[in-house]
Structure 1
């Protein structure tokens, strides 16, 4: 099976040459452009999530042999969540090779966090099916790299960290207010404000409420830390 020059370049960024390139093609095919002869990447996403989880669980155990389950769990969640997968996808320019329907292309699908995260998991599964667990593990450890060593600093998500900041100052938990929802139903963009009772506020936009809340919380935390 011949592949395009774009996909060859993607293989180089990924660090894996597919013996079965049809697996790579399936991994980058979104449901918006699938057909009976062109399956999408959803089943691969399901498998890739599990492969990633096993690799990260093992890596964390070896990285900190004295850590308790309670310490390992938030680190694990930080490494395997969709935001982390999407960040890796952006670094290897996965969005550039995604096969999308016209509506997804027009709505910025190549930049959507959820879509990129799902596709990254599908690519992991494709490598696993193409060359086995060791190949998938090597690729994951290479791409995640220093994040595994640094994860303790980033293990708490921004919303949790902001809530702890408020509690330490005897404030109620922050409120998350939806200020606007724009775009079509299949590709909405949410504007969310994170607000503290003391009056501080920060806003963010994202294609899901959860992502917008996390970004708003992160911005507010950064502002609070800068202000002392």
Structure 2
């Protein structure tokens, strides 16, 4: 745990909190006789702590932005994909305690499990060191300038932009096709192609079909722009 604490740049006074944050429900269920708690309660609390810290950050950083814009930016900042990326940078998967079935199924790389564990760690730090310690960790992990710029990119709806562009001319038909799917079930990569009147105008990849279609639309916009 000292190795993870070093990555977090935080030393726990009560190390049991960090241990609990890493206990997946599958592990707790397999060790009921040990009366272990899973990280689900911490995840619940961590979601609220993360939401508050992020809201305060955006409220201060964007004093002129209306509530709707702040809500959309916050949703993108704290989405599952953003938290998964935090977990990847911390190498959090290697510290998780999983049940045998979850371990065999690739749980250490599953996006939802890693994202939930990040929220649980945020809650553990909050309970151990208070809101200032939790806020400092969330800022280090998530709320830097570069992170927000990445989120702004993610927020763009390329499919809608492409649709609006092609609709400037009559009788234009856009369609999306999944052309490839690779990787294990817990870490699939999808490749999509967007066609205009039956001809390919862009392709892109992502970890979900929606993400792949957005990437394809972005490529198409860049191609049509040229």
Q: Decide which of 23, 26, 29 is 1:29's aligned counterpart.
A: 23
| 1:19 aligned onto 2:13 | yes
Q: Deviations over 1:14-50 (max 9, x none)?
A: 1111111111111111112113312111111111111
In the comparison of the two structures, how many residue pairs are matched? Answer: 214
Matches within 5 A, 1:163-202: 163-170=160-167, 175=176, 191=190, 193=192, 195-198=194-197, 199-200=200-201, 202=203
- Residues 104 and 172 of structure 1: CA distance in aligned 2, closer, same or farther (over 3 Å): farther
CA distance in 2, matches of 1:85, 1:25: 19
CA distance in 2, matches of 1:150, 1:180: 29
Alpha-carbon deviation of 1:215?
A: 3.8
- Highest Rg: 1 or 2? 2
Alignment gaps of 5+ in structure 2: none
Q: Decide which of 105, 110, 113 is 2:111's aligned counterpart.
A: 113
CA distance in 2, matches of 1:155, 1:146: 14
Partner residue in 1 for 2:214: 217
- Which range moved further: 17-26 or 174-183? 174-183
Alpha-carbon deviation of 1:110?
A: 1.5
Partner residue in 2 for 1:40: 38
Alpha-carbon deviation of 1:139?
A: 0.8
Secondary structure of the corresponding residue to residue 53 of structure 2: helix
Alpha-carbon deviation of 1:114?
A: 1.2
The list of structure 1 runs, each at least 4 consecutive aligned residues, that deviate by more than 6 angstroms after superposition, is 178-184
Alpha-carbon deviation of 1:86?
A: 0.8
- Which range moved further: 196-205 or 76-85? 196-205
C-alpha contact (below 8 Å) 2:39/2:120 kept by paired residues: yes
Tell me how large the CA RMSD over aligned residues is: 2.9
Partner residue in 1 for 2:131: 133
Alpha-carbon deviation of 1:95?
A: 1.0
Give the structure-2-normalised TM-score. Answer: 0.80
Q: Decide which of 117, 120, 123 is 1:122's aligned counterpart.
A: 120
Alpha-carbon deviation of 1:81?
A: 0.6
Alpha-carbon deviation of 1:224?
A: 4.3
Give the structure-1-normalised TM-score. Answer: 0.79
CA distance in 1, matches of 2:161, 2:93: 35
Partner residue in 2 for 1:81: 79
